[in-house]
């Protein structure tokens, strides 16, 4: 185990067999050692900085039917909404005043927002706030749409691979193809986006081998950003009676992701904060270096529920901003309000 942890820290890679062995044999002591390596590497790369991103959840309408997701097409109980271009800009104005210099625009897969509508939104944000980064998280689109949005000024794109196991992927995504997910990620990278991949921990039927594949996938893709969160059941989905992912398992994955992609930006996810009161702080302590507080209008917060017991549904954007700052300070880390690009940018991408 010692040798594997040293190899991870020094060479930032492991084979699948080594990853499986590590996941099967981590005891309390070796877990502490893993966390101290991941924390050390994070501080070597990013110091004590934690970057903030303002998250705007602009539509909960989705044509896909992912079994785990609360806003899946088949959930007829959700009250659906779309924000107008003006409403999205208003969120950014508020966010800018609160100090955010990255806006993450996220939605279900909603074709009502055509390429042209999205290009306009991105252009408007970039012209009104020239010093911000725009991150998109809209799901799968075609190459031309990705390219035009990039040319319009979008900087980053989050598209979690969700699970690197084709078997599990296709079971969980009846309307989607694993190959297309991977193709989208490759296209986004080729176009020049800073790309985010990532996965859920504790999915039904997910094995240790599947998790090792997720980690290897990240190690090969070397994304700029990595979103890892626990699976949390939503009561109006087919997975409502399944067990949720565990805090400890998710933290282990965050630490391993840091060691396998050392210069990545890794958010302490809202799902972790929803699973455990101090889940986000715990992630920051083992290698995460980003937090994405909510900037969506209060009226729509409760309608964007991907899983049960999501935090911040009743908190004003300003409260989240200060809440998160206090939480970050409580870990001994410091808030950084700059755009916060991946440190690889400007090197060889």
* Interface residue list for ligand FES (CB under 6 A): 293, 312, 315, 319-320, 323-324
> Binding mask 119-158 vs ligand SAM (x if CB under 6 A, - otherwise)?
------------------x-x-------------------
Task: Assess contact for 119 and 153: CB atoms under 8 A.
Answer: no
Q: Do the annotations mark residue 62 as ligand-binding?
A: yes
> Looking only at residues 240 through 299 of this chain, which bind ligand SAM when binding is defined by CB under 6 A?
271
Give the residue from 223, 230, 225 showing the smallest Cα distance to 206.
230
Q: Do the annotations mark residue 66 as ligand-binding?
A: yes
Give the residue from 178, 242, 247 showing the smallest Cα distance to 210.
178
The CB-of-323 to ligand FES minimum distance in angstroms stands at 3
307: contact with ligand SAM by CB under 6 A: yes
Distance CA 317, CA 121 (A): 21
Q: Do the annotations mark residue 137 as ligand-binding?
A: yes
Q: Which is nearer to ligand FES, 195 or 320 (CB)?
A: 320
Beta strands in the chain (DSSP E): 49-52, 54-59, 102-107, 133-137, 156-158, 194-201, 225-230, 290-291, 334-336
Q: Do the annotations mark residue 162 as ligand-binding?
A: yes
231: contact with ligand SAM by CB under 6 A: yes
Q: Do the annotations mark residue 184 as ligand-binding?
A: no
Q: Do the annotations mark residue 38 as ligand-binding?
A: no
Count helices and strands (H / E) in the chain: 14, 9
306: contact with ligand SAM by CB under 6 A: yes
> Looking only at residues 96 through 115 of this chain, which bind ligand SAM when binding is defined by CB under 6 A?
106, 108-109
> Looking only at residues 39 through 68 of this chain, which bind ligand SAM when binding is defined by CB under 6 A?
68
Distance CA 123, CA 152 (A): 6
Q: Which is nearer to ligand FES, 223 or 293 (CB)?
A: 293
Distance CA 89, CA 91 (A): 5
Q: Which is nearer to ligand SAM, 162 or 281 (CB)?
A: 162
Q: Which is nearer to ligand FES, 245 or 293 (CB)?
A: 293
In sequence order, the β-bridge partners of residue 104 are 55, 135
In sequence order, the β-bridge partners of residue 221 are none
Residues that bind ligand SAM (CB under 6 A): 68-69, 106, 108-109, 137, 139, 159-160, 162, 200, 229, 231-232, 234, 271, 306-307
- Binding-site annotation, residues for (3R)-3-methyl-D-ornithine: 137
């Amino acid at each position: 185990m010692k040798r594997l942890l040293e190899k991870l820290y020094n060479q930032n890679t492991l084979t699948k067999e080594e990853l499986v062995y590590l996941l099967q044999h981590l005891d309390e002591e070796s877990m502490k050692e893993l966390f101290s390596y991941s924390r050390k590497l994070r501080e070597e790369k990013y110091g004590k900085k934690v970057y903030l991103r303002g998250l705007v959840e602009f539509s909960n309408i989705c044509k896909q039917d992912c079994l785990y997701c609360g806003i899946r097409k088949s959930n007829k109980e959700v009250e659906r909404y779309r924000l107008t271009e003006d409403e999205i800009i208003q969120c950014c104005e508020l966010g800018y005043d609160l100090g955010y210099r990255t806006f993450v625009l996220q939605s279900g897969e909603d074709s009502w927002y055509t390429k042209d509508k999205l290009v306009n939104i991105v252009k408007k944000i970039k012209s009104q706030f020239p010093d911000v980064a725009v991150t998109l998280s809209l799901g799968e689109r075609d190459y031309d749409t990705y390219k035009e949005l990039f040319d319009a000024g979008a900087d980053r794109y989050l598209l979690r691979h969700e699970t690197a196991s084709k078997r599990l992927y296709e079971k969980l995504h009846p309307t989607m193809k694993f190959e297309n997910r991977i193709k989208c990620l490759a296209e986004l990278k080729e176009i020049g986006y800073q790309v985010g991949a990532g996965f859920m921990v504790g999915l039904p039927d997910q094995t240790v081998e599947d998790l090792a594949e997720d980690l290897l996938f990240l190690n090969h893709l070397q994304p700029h950003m990595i979103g890892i969160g626990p699976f949390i059941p939503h009561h109006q989905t087919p997975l409502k009676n399944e067990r949720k992912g565990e805090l400890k398992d998710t933290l282990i994955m965050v630490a391993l992701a840091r060691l396998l992609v050392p210069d990545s930006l890794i958010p302490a996810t809202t799902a972790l904060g929803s699973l455990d009161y101090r889940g986000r702080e715990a992630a920051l302590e083992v290698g995460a270096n980003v937090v994405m507080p909510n900037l969506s209008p209060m009226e729509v917060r409760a309608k964007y529920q991907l899983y049960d017991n999501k935090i911040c549904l009743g908190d004003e954007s300003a409260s989240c901003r200060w809440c998160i700052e206090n939480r970050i300070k409580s870990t001994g880390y410091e808030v950084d309000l700059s755009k916060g690009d991946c440190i690889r940018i400007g090197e060889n991408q």
